[in-house]
Structure 1
Amino acid sequence: MKHHAPRLTKTLSIFLIVLAALAGSCVTVNVNLPESAVQRATDDYVKDLYRARDKGKADTKAAPAAKPQSYLGIFMAEAWAVDDITFTVDTQRALVIREKLRARVDDVLSNKRSGILGETKDGKLVLKKTDPAKKLLMKKLEKLVTDENHDRDELYSEIVKSNKLAPARLKDIQRSFARSFQSESPSGTWIEDQEGVWSQKQ
């Protein structure tokens, strides 16, 4: 047994080092982009955008936060809380974009409610109902969607840039805003889920 003790100790040490490295890596990823903090920030941004508007019935209940089940989980939760203070969607540029979005919000909400417009899973507005007989109206709606998505794209890029996130995180920001826009949308809006399936909001 004495001959095996050093080998066992060495193996255990390597295991602990690897475990620590994995744990550290996990914490780093979540601190860089804490999903809970990002979602709260995007929710607040969209709620303010749609403030004092007749949105119809919207499901704004947030999913309950998972309780930490380990020391690592507790540490990660604390790290998210700290990062929540620094993550922001309220830069000067983002607020300017919000005013541009707000200028057309009545048209967007009205056409969502009528089932003409929908919200994709990656934070884009889409035209879901067309009428070839109403060419002028369709042209106006297409411009509405194009202008809205142009401003949203600028917003998402600004959030990534201002928070110094990796470019690969753009998709996470888009999906977070998608959840916010879908949650605040009125009944009648077409909603795309994460599997790409569309349904009309009740």
Structure 2
Amino acid sequence: MRKLVYLILTTVTVALVGCVTINVYFPEAAAQKAADQFIGNVLDGTGKAPAEPKKDTPPPGNGPQPSAMLLDLLIPAAYAADAPNLQIQNATTEAIRGRMRARVQGALGGLLDSGAVGFTNDGLVALRDTAKVPLSQRAQANATVADENRDRNELYREIAQANGHPEWQDQIRTTFAKGWVKHAHAGWYYQNAAGAWQKK
């Protein structure tokens, strides 16, 4: 009889584990918060992120059900997949942030202020109006844009890889693209979704 009970329990356990699918989705809210903080630091030196909403505490007596506790014992990662945390700060991203901040305080900031350069809808920067750059400074302006885009591409790739999800790179790029526009200073240019330039 005991063997039969163990066999049934083992079969049910294997069936439960086999039926549970853990989806690791892109943590959009966490990514936007991290992007806002990174971009705020690069453009303004603030690094401010939006305030966190207060979490509601469940009423007493509504704790986990016994079946949920059994599932947690069998698959402890199930809860971890519900609210992934996006890591954005490491030695590589900090070095990129420092270079980007120096560029915004220097040549790139001047190009953005003049309207010669703007934010593209794919999270990069582009030379928008060469007439706003004196001929003698165009080579330097092109080099500044190239350096900035190299760092931006490396940043998006590094964040995705550092979080163990290289497939998130495009979503991280999209999140940052929205953030650059959101934090752009008045008078700076950006591309809308259709690729047309607009002044903030």
What TM-score bracket applies, with the shorter chain setting the length?
0.5 to 0.7
Identity of aligned residues (%): 27
Task: Tell me the equivalent position of 1:135.
Answer: 135
Letter in 1 for 2:131: D
Structure 1 CA distance, aligned partners of 2:162 and 2:128? 33
- Call closer, same or farther: CA 1:170–1:112 in 2, change over 3 Å: same
Task: Tell me the equivalent position of 2:123.
Answer: 123
Structure 2 CA distance, aligned partners of 1:151 and 1:122? 14
Residues 158-177 of structure 1 aligned to structure 2 (within 5 Å): 158-167=158-167, 169-177=168-176
Classify the secondary structure of the residue corresponding to 1:42: helix
Classify the secondary structure of the residue corresponding to 2:126: strand
Greater C-alpha Rg: 2
Letter in 1 for 2:38: Y
Is residue 21 of structure 2 the alignment partner of residue 33 of structure 1?
no
Count of residue pairs brought into register by the alignment: 153
Letter in 2 for 1:34: P
After TM superposition, give the deviation of residue 131 of structure 1 in Å: 2.7
Task: Tell me the equivalent position of 2:93.
Answer: 94
After TM superposition, give the deviation of residue 87 of structure 1 in Å: 0.9
Task: Tell me the equivalent position of 1:148.
Answer: 148
- The question of whether the paired residues in 1 share the 8 Å contact of 2:33 and 2:49 is answered with no
Letter in 1 for 2:33: R
Task: Tell me the equivalent position of 1:157.
Answer: 157
- Call closer, same or farther: CA 1:132–1:166 in 2, change over 3 Å: closer
Classify the secondary structure of the residue corresponding to 1:126: strand
Classify the secondary structure of the residue corresponding to 2:190: strand
Task: Tell me the equivalent position of 2:103.
Answer: 104
Letter in 1 for 2:160: V
- Call closer, same or farther: CA 1:184–1:80 in 2, change over 3 Å: farther
After TM superposition, give the deviation of residue 81 of structure 1 in Å: 7.6
- Call closer, same or farther: CA 1:189–1:133 in 2, change over 3 Å: closer
- Call closer, same or farther: CA 1:132–1:113 in 2, change over 3 Å: closer
Task: Tell me the equivalent position of 2:37.
Answer: 44
After TM superposition, give the deviation of residue 132 of structure 1 in Å: 9.3
- Call closer, same or farther: CA 1:115–1:61 in 2, change over 3 Å: farther
Classify the secondary structure of the residue corresponding to 2:185: coil
After TM superposition, give the deviation of residue 32 of structure 1 in Å: 2.8
Query: What runs of 5+ residues in structure 2 fail to find an aligned partner?
Result: 1-18, 54-78
After superposition, the C-alpha distances for 1:81-120 in whole angstroms (9 at most, x for unaligned) are 832xx31111111111111111211232232122111101
- Call closer, same or farther: CA 1:37–1:81 in 2, change over 3 Å: farther
- The question of whether the paired residues in 1 share the 8 Å contact of 2:39 and 2:183 is answered with yes
Classify the secondary structure of the residue corresponding to 2:121: coil
TM norm structure 1: 0.66
Letter in 2 for 1:134: P
- Call closer, same or farther: CA 1:132–1:183 in 2, change over 3 Å: closer
Residues 18-97 of structure 1 aligned to structure 2 (within 5 Å): 28=23, 31-52=24-45, 82-83=83-84, 86-97=85-96
Structure 2 CA distance, aligned partners of 1:134 and 1:110? 13
- The question of whether the paired residues in 2 share the 8 Å contact of 1:190 and 1:200 is answered with yes
After TM superposition, give the deviation of residue 135 of structure 1 in Å: 2.3
Classify the secondary structure of the residue corresponding to 1:50: helix
Letter in 2 for 1:188: G
